[in-house]
A and B are shown apart, each in its own frame.
Chain A
Amino acid sequence: MISWIENIARAPYRLWGLILAAAIMTLLLGQIVVERITLLSSGTEVRLATAPVDPRDIFRGDYVILTYDISRLPVDRLADDPDQFKGGDTVYVTLVEDDTSGLWQAMTIHHQRPETVAGTATIRGRIDWMDTAPLTPTALPGEAPVDERCVGCRNARISYGIESYFVPEGTGRDLEDMRDEGSVTVIAAVSENGTAAIKGLILDGGDPVYLEPLL
């Protein structure tokens, strides 16, 4: 065993090994690109309400963090087994389109992927953490009446892998300004297995301000 490994490790350079390693790396890169293109071109298109914030990634440049309405969900209302949800869990959220706004909203949340129903899409996410709504609600002007609020409910903070939107250097602030001027909506593609990818951004329900080419 040891001598066999030593023969591999102490041998002179292997040209075929170098070419094979480079081919494997190229295939791995190609596989990610093809997977993303397939998802973006054939996934169910959903529109999600969001609010961007502008930070910076040391390796990948400027990007905006997108927080969605579906990023924080009350599991007591949406799940059959709300006590079973905890941080780190993989979850599937069923989305349904709101006829008036055209935005997709959460309908149910599950641990296992549910059967697909026509007119719905299921997005996969991971619970970052659970929090509980305050037991004693504050009574600030303009807030919803206390009886309509889910006091003491458990909320799941969920990431779907579509929380970062990379923008050209120095343009992150522009997107924030747009957000301040009106509502920002994300067009996302959701695949059969629940993986989501960002296709573009819309401001105030109009034409897309950013639309991503496939290549």
Chain B
Amino acid sequence: MILRQQYLKRLKSDLDRWSQQGLVDPAKVPSIIKDAQGTGGGTSLATVLAVLGVVLLGFAAMSFVAANWTEMSKLTKLLVLAFGMWGSVGIAAWRIRTDDKEHGLYTEAAILLAVILFGVSIMLIGQMYHIGGEYSDGLMLWMTGALVTAWLVPSRAALVLAIILTPMWSIAVIMEDPALLHWQFIIPISLAGLLAAAMGWRPAAHLIIIAWGVWFSTTALWLLEYLDWSADTVFALAAMVALIIFAKGHIAMRLIAPFEDAMIHWGLLAAMGTAFWLPLVAEGQLPDETYYIWVAIILGAMVLATGGMAYMQSRFAIPDMAVLTAATVTFVLFPYASLALGDLADWLFVIAYFGASVWCVSYGTRTHDRFSINLGFAAFGLMALYVYFETVGTLLDTAAFFAVGGVLLIGLSVGLGRIRQRLLARQAKAEKVA
């Protein structure tokens, strides 16, 4: 709601400015504001209530199954759930026939309830026939049902459920057999991503990227626990994967266009987040150097290739490419540097991290992206706190570090200010000539 009010406030001030500049007809400003005020708010409350209602009904059905009430025969219980599922389908069908042609709120709620009851029925059958342990098979079946429904109808609610179930399936598989790399996750999540992209539905992009994040985390655990890789190698690889997602968000491609913002924000957040932890988790050992370096080189090449494509499309500026390249080289080499240089590598990394935070703010300023600006400041502050606590007890060292850093940043700021003034003057001159 707060975001919406901010948006309306911003829209009003922008419209005032545009009408003064003659870009917008002043007579139309009130109707534009009225239209903006009239959309969104009411529907979102109704959506939340409808979804909560369906979730409660789903929990009711789950509790009905969990009670394992023996007064009712297996067949009766199955029929109750089957009628519930087909009843929900019937309501959705009736809504489609009457007035909802696409993305109808109650139609979506009814479809969501049908797919939830499908999952509850799977649990009921598992309970009735004492099929124990293999949660993953049940979740896979449920996810398949949700995905099939999402494609066939097409339904956004079923798609959301499918996206949520996909990483849950992956987690269940890995819990049942920690020795497995669950690559099969890629198939349903790609199908879900394809559908969300084709729908042009932005909120699903965030969910899909979170699902990928969960899968990458479980895969990182697999590398750490099962293959016994050191934490810094795993974090370095994770940071590069995040950079790929960030860079990919800059490539102009029709299919991923709705995902751009989500990819850029989540990619940048994950890259800065994992990079922050990199020196903290360094163990000073390389359990499997051969595999690490090959995987790191492949991922590094993917970061640079993706960044290069974005640069060719003028989506990246030279400073962005320079930072991307420096970050990639740092991530690839960090485990080796940590092994060879010890604490010195950590301190060099901290300096590089401060540099990356400053770039993050500059990137946000250039692209008018408030998220990146805030992220840059937060990363800078967190790292400053880390340095403070790390050097606490040797306050002279802390003071020296911050003093040098402060002088450097002020110098950088003055330099950038001059460059900016020079560029503006050149631009003004060029405009005058034109």
Q: Which residues of A line the B interface, CB within 8 A? A: 2, 5-6, 8-15, 17-22, 24-26, 28-29, 32-33, 36, 40, 57-63, 65, 87-88, 126, 159, 161-169, 197-198, 212-215
B102 engages A13 (CB within 8 Å) = yes
Judge if B229 is at the interface, Cβ distance under 8 Å: no
A59-B65, A60-B123, A61-B68 known; A161+B133 contact, CB < 8 A: yes
B128 smallest CB distance to A (angstroms): 8
B187 smallest CB distance to A (angstroms): 16
Which listed residue, A28, A36, A212, touches B141 by the CB 8 Å rule? A28
**How many pairs, one residue from A and one from B, have CB atoms within 8 Å of each other in the complex?**
164
Judge if B396 is at the interface, Cβ distance under 8 Å: no
Which listed residue, A11, A19, A162, touches B154 by the CB 8 Å rule? A11
A13 engages B101 (CB within 8 Å) = yes
B145 engages A36 (CB within 8 Å) = no
Q: How far is the CA of A214 from the CA of B74 in the complex (A)?
A: 8
Q: How far is the CA of A14 from the CA of B107 in the complex (A)?
A: 12
B130 engages A18 (CB within 8 Å) = no
Residue-wise interface mask of B (90-106) relative to A, using a CB-CB cutoff of 8 A (1 in contact, 0 not): 00110011001110100
Interface size on B, residues (CB 8 A): 63
Main SS at interface, chain A: mixed
Q: How far is the CA of A100 from the CA of B200 in the complex (A)?
A: 69
Which listed residue, B69, B101, B152, touches A18 by the CB 8 Å rule? B152
Residues from chain A with Cβ under 8 Å of B198 in the complex: 2, 5-6, 8-10
Q: Which has the most chain A C-beta neighbours within 10 Å: B67, B89, B130?
A: B130
Judge if B243 is at the interface, Cβ distance under 8 Å: no
A22 engages B130 (CB within 8 Å) = no
A213 engages B148 (CB within 8 Å) = no
A13-B100, A169-B67 known; A8+B154 contact, CB < 8 A: yes
Residues from chain B with Cβ under 8 Å of A58 in the complex: 66
Q: How far is the CA of A33 from the CA of B121 in the complex (A)?
A: 11
Residue-wise interface mask of B (141-161) relative to A, using a CB-CB cutoff of 8 A (1 in contact, 0 not): 100110011011111001000
Known: A36-B131, A59-B123. 5 other contacts (CB 8 A): A5-B195, A21-B149, A63-B132, A161-B132, A213-B74
